Amino acid sequence: MSRTLITGGAGFLGSHLCDRFLAEGHDVICMDNFITGNPDNVAHLIGHPGFDLIEHDVTNFIYVEGGLDYVLHFASPASPIDYLKYPIQTLKVGALGTHKALGLAKAKGARFLLASTSEVYGDPLEHPQRETYWGNVNPVGLRGVYDEAKRFAEAMAMAYHRYHGVETRIVRIFNTFGPRMRLDDGRALPTFMTQALTGEPLTVFGDGSQTRSFCYVNDLIDGIFRLLQSDVVEPVNIGNPDEITILDFAKEIIELTDSDSSITFEPLPADDPKIRQPDISKATDELGWTPKIDRREGLSRTLDYVRERLQDRADDESASEPTPAASS
């Protein structure tokens, strides 16, 4: 039986990875400091005989008793609202956290997989983006704390592979969505769905002509699992190349939710990428992977989750309201 450590395992992607690896028969150690992760994401796994949850900051030395076969490093704030709130922590987990996780993989003889990002391409001058593109990143801009943390992490992973012989894999993750996204994480999909369901205007930045390519979480997890089992050392894009403008995406959410919400426009944030679309030829050729769930189907599944979370929020607010005093 394989034993796998997933850092950031209580996050959106990390928790889905915990589910997948347990389903594949692995023992799973989920490690998280809960800055942006949520214990509720893995609450359904508590009591599973193959699952352990450890609260720990991976920028400090990581101790795990016993053997490990795989180390998946997913610990990091991952949305602009998070890494702008936690810039130093984002840089530290990309640098120190990656160093500690790689050191653990080396000590245990484990295969290491780094969660990198399409943000290493910055505001790209190549479209769609291939793994051979070196990117167009502003290292001192607001988004640089995330972009450069991931670029450094990739360099460190390759250094450990070349110098220490650690088996490393690097996945460059493009926009992903699905259940367990935080409604307040600032990303387009949960924000748009929340606004549409509560009757608020949908907030589009710039004129909405910037593009994104959205991949449903189940497809992404399958791509990551295939990459981990493969012999591919160089980075691999995993994402859905079905590109859409943010304005059209907002309109799609309004239609899907049958909402009366309007659309408002705000200034475009600094260094916000104008285009984003993965070239997944490498994933298709070397992993046999392509996304199976189209955006409409994925959105329908995610909408059910967002509705449930909004209802939970309303119930919590109702329960916290003070009870009117009885009249004498």
Rg (CA), the chain: 20
Q: From CA 185, how far away is CA 240, in angstroms rounded?
A: 21
Q: What phi and psi, each to the nearest 5 degrees, are found at residue 35?
A: -65, -50
- CB–CB of 282/131 below 8 Å? yes
Kindly name the residue from 146, 160, 216, 305 that is annotated as catalytic: 146
DSSP characters over 109-161: T-EEEEEEEGGGGBS-SSSSBPTT---B--TTSTTHHHHHHHHHHHHHHHHII
Q: How many residues in the chain?
A: 328
List of residues 6+ apart from 65 with CB closer than 8 A? none
Residue 214: CB atoms within 10 A of its CB come to: 23
Asked if residue 156 lies in contact with residue 73, where contact means CB atoms within 8 angstroms, the answer is: no
Helix 246-257 × helix 188-197 angle, to 10°: 40
Whether 146 is catalytic = yes
Residues annotated as catalytic (active site), given as ranges: 146
